[in-house]
Copies of this chain bind each other. A is one copy, B any other.
């Protein structure tokens, strides 16, 4: 069951400049930053608010580290802007399988590692009215010792 807007993923050319824009304009601060080699991005998570399922909603700012990464190719075509949206669930495995059973293309066979040791998958935007949609289970919602997606 999807219980929150987990994050909005925003692609940018210059992560540091974009982080500074969000800080200077709105006062949003970086909660976490990392490089995800598999996804081919540098990223910063800005925590915006807590959510009533015990988690939080973030902006995820993404700069490609390779031109041939999915975000790199998307940026070259579209320019800066909203790249994807993500819904949070306690069980990305069950929810993504349930969604696959409804005929929506799920892009990974099994969830992969996302920001902050979350486990994530993506749904094909053409099956979601044009919206690249991520499903995510936060690390804090995973069973202790669960590293099946890492």
Contact = CB atoms under 8 A, between A and B. Distances in A.
Interface of A: 1-5, 8, 10, 12, 18, 21, 24-28, 48-53, 57, 59, 79-82, 85, 87, 99, 102, 104, 125, 128-131
A80 B82 CA distance: 13
B128 A5 contact: no
Contact of A49 (B18, B53, B80, B129): B53
B48 A49 contact: no
Nearest to A104: B25
A127 B3 CA distance: 32
Contacts of A85: 8, 82
Contacts of A21: 128-129
B81 A125 contact: yes
Copies of this chain held together in the complex = 2
21 contacts: A1-B27, A2-B48, A3-B48, A3-B49, A4-B49, A4-B57, A5-B8, A5-B57, A10-B130, A10-B131, A12-B130, A18-B129, A24-B102, A25-B104, A49-B53, A50-B52, A51-B52, A57-B57, A80-B131, A81-B130, A82-B131
A8 B5 CA distance: 9
